[in-house]
Amino acid sequence: MYTNIAAYCKTHHVNLVAVSKTKPISAIQELYAAGQRIFGENRVKEMTEKYNQLPKDIEWHLIGHLQKNKAKYIAPFVSMIHSIDSFELLEIVDLQAKINHRIIPVLLQFHIATEETKFGLSLPESMDLIQNYTIKSMEHIKICGVMGMASFTENLDLIRSEFHTLKNIFDTLKEKYFSDDLSFTEISMGMSGDFKIAIEEGSTMVRVGSAIFGKR
């Protein structure tokens, strides 16, 4: 299954984040041997433990909610944080990146699903955040794009329209704030059940777990 999905992403010029949460080291090693280098985790402790045990050319992406007091544990090594959902969190990541003499690439997470429970910003909230970010000129953060999760539903039209919304948010922010910024390029959307729809709607980065590793 991995080979097919990796080839599909490659053909469509989309980055594949292999979501390895809850999966053992051995499962990651198997994919690593097949050439995969980007892995996604949603818990700080689990990601840190795996980082310590695995080859150092793996790019670790934090895709789950990040608690402010835990940013320090991943700041030394994380390759991208997909889940920035407040200015306060951005400030803390900037500080921790500075302490580690790094620039950490991040994505702004948007609430695009109809469900109440998912984390994420609205478009106006993100505009406030970006304006504050510009004023404070954070030198240890790079905002590289947006991330979102569609509703947990079998209604494919709804999923597609939510991805379409995220693409529009990206285009709006790009035009208003990042038109000269060559790093603002990423739209992280699409999981095992919906990554093909996400790619049709403009995804540049899909986060696929169970379709690669099997059920959790």
Ligand X SMILES: *Cc1c(COP(=O)(O)O)cnc(C)c1O
Contacts to ligand X by CB under 6 A: 19, 21, 42, 63-64, 149, 191-193, 207-211
The least distance separating ligand X from the CB of residue 194, rounded to whole angstroms, comes to 8
Token pair 């895709």 is found at 63
Backbone angles phi, psi at 142, to 5 degrees: -130, 115
Q: Which of 65/98 has CB closer to ligand X?
A: 65
Pairing mode of beta strands 80-84, 59-62: parallel
Q: Which of 64/138 has CB closer to ligand X?
A: 64
Nearest to 194 by CA among 161, 216, 172: 161
Instruction: Let me know the angle formed at the C-alpha of 124 by 143 and 43, rounded to the nearest 5 degrees.
Output: 50
Q: Which of 63/130 has CB closer to ligand X?
A: 63
Q: Which of 5/143 has CB closer to ligand X?
A: 5
Whether residue 210 contacts residue 170, with contact meaning beta carbons closer than 8 Å, is answered with no
Using Cβ positions, the residue closest to ligand X within the complex turns out to be 209
The least distance separating ligand X from the CB of residue 215, rounded to whole angstroms, comes to 8
The least distance separating ligand X from the CB of residue 153, rounded to whole angstroms, comes to 13
Backbone angles phi, psi at 16, to 5 degrees: -105, 120
Instruction: Let me know the angle formed at the C-alpha of 94 by 88 and 98, rounded to the nearest 5 degrees.
Output: 150
The least distance separating ligand X from the CB of residue 85, rounded to whole angstroms, comes to 12
Q: Which of 7/99 has CB closer to ligand X?
A: 7
Token pair 């709804």 is found at 158
The least distance separating ligand X from the CB of residue 136, rounded to whole angstroms, comes to 27
The least distance separating ligand X from the CB of residue 139, rounded to whole angstroms, comes to 28
| Residues in a beta bridge with 133 | none
Stated length of the chain: 216
Q: Which of 151/210 has CB closer to ligand X?
A: 210
Q: Helix (H, G, I), strand (E, B), or coil: what is residue 30?
A: helix
